[in-house]
Amino acid sequence: MTERRDYRSAGVDLDAADAALDGIRASVAATYDDRVLAGLGAFGGLFDASGLPDRPVLIGTVDGVGTKTRVAAATGRWDGIGTDLVHHCVNDLLVQGGRPLFFLDYLASARLEPETVVRVVRSVADACRGVGMPLLGGETAEMPGVYADGELDVVGAAIGVAARDRIVDGSAVTEGDRILGLASGGLQTNGYSLARAVLDGAYDAPMPDGRSVADHLLEPHRSFLPAVAPLLDAGLVRGAAHVTGGGLPGNLPRVLPDGLGATIHGGWEEPAIFGRIREAGRVPEEEMRRAFNLGVGFVLIVAEAEVARVRATCPEPLIDVGRVVAGAGVRWA
């Protein structure tokens, strides 16, 4: 006689999914404003797009937080993962001059742990409120056999907008322009596979500042919106890059016109975690530069004549990163 089966015996717990939904409902609703016509629970979120700038251009971006989730799982520290997700996507919008409109998230695992889901989504919601956009909708998926037990995949998508005549695409960049940077504070959301290979099992080890390796690895991915928005408003940005996977060598060329490259001065103060990774793994410098941001999370390309005004307009200090030069590629001076 065939054994009677149900969804739970197949590995999917609908009660756990309902518990997670109940736990995030209030946090998600707290991100809503008058622009949200339908949100959590609807088959699709509805967003009132009136009031957009003249000749609006929508900008869409989607990303995850990579294997930073493995560090969160190993330490039980999930509360910042949603912040990382939102800020990564918002920074990608900023590169092209975009401002965030709304956000969607996706969480998947072999087995949903309602408490973990609630902690992650609450941090997503908190970050969305911080940048002024609603968490319009999302999805949680329990997929045994696809994901390994104990793992959680986190993905987010942001939709933003820019006026067509204010899009930043790098086309105005010329030889001699200056490259200025904003400090990352840590790894942000990239390079964790290498960092874990080097530091796995040593997350409790102390760093020189008294914090642990885990504290440094889980340093939140910054939102550069407060620093970059005034510069965009003033029309001072010719090009920009979010320094994610690939580091400066992989991301700067994406916003430089053909025939132009960059010379990097170096010399800024790196967060201590990069030195720990470099030393513990005997990682070559070229590989460090390709895998990590090394302390520069976002770069701005501005006219030489505007540097003083840029520094005066930006609400935080800017790092002197380098200069745009003739010839393709990124090289260190």
- pLDDT beyond 90 at 185: no
Instruction: Encode pLDDT of 278-298 as tens digits.
Output: 999 999 999 999 999 999 999
CA pair distance 2, 9, nearest whole angstrom:
14
Given its phi and psi angles, is residue 247 left (phi above 0), alpha (psi -120 to 50 degrees) or beta?
A: left
Give the confidence band of 111 by pLDDT, cuts at 50, 70, 90: confident
- pLDDT beyond 70 at 168: yes
- pLDDT beyond 70 at 89: yes
Helix (H, G, I), strand (E, B) or coil at 123: helix
CA pair distance 274, 322, nearest whole angstrom:
20
- pLDDT beyond 70 at 22: no
Query: Residue 89: which of 228, 193, 242 has the closest Cα?
Result: 242
Report DSSP state, residue 143.
-
- 17: number of Cβ within 10 Å: 16
- pLDDT beyond 60 at 6: no
CB 268 within 8 A of CB 318: no
- The top-scoring range by mean pLDDT among 29-33, 34-38, 66-70 is 66-70
> What integer pLDDT is reported at residue 186 of this predicted model?
94
> What integer pLDDT is reported at residue 14 of this predicted model?
47
CATH superfamily of 14-166: PurM-like, N-terminal domain (3.30.1330.10)
> What integer pLDDT is reported at residue 38 of this predicted model?
83
Classify domain 178-332 by CATH architecture.
Alpha-Beta Complex (3.90)
> What integer pLDDT is reported at residue 10 of this predicted model?
44
Q: Do domains 14-166 and 178-332 have the same CATH topology?
A: no
- pLDDT beyond 70 at 314: yes
Which of the pair, 257 or 150, is modelled with greater confidence? 257
**Locus of tokens 């390994």:** 148
Instruction: Encode pLDDT of 72-82 as tens digits.
Output: 999 999 999 99
Domain edges within the chain? 14-166, 178-332
Instruction: Encode pLDDT of 233-283 as tens digits.
Output: 999 999 999 999 999 999 999 999 999 999 999 889 999 999 999 999 999
Give the global pTM. Answer: 0.91
> What integer pLDDT is reported at residue 13 of this predicted model?
53
Which residues neighbour 101 within 8 Å (Cβ) at sequence distance 6 or greater? 47, 49, 58, 133, 158, 159, 160, 161
> What integer pLDDT is reported at residue 41 of this predicted model?
74
- pLDDT beyond 60 at 154: yes
pLDDT over 70, % of the chain:
93
Mean pLDDT of the 164-174 span: 95
CB 65 within 8 A of CB 82: no
CB 138 within 8 A of CB 128: no
Which of the pair, 46 or 252, is modelled with greater confidence? 252
Mean pLDDT of the 150-171 span: 95
Mean pLDDT of the 142-148 span: 89
CB 20 within 8 A of CB 112: yes
> What integer pLDDT is reported at residue 281 of this predicted model?
96
> What integer pLDDT is reported at residue 44 of this predicted model?
85
Distances (CA, A) of 74 to 111, 151, 218, 221: 16, 10, 11, 19
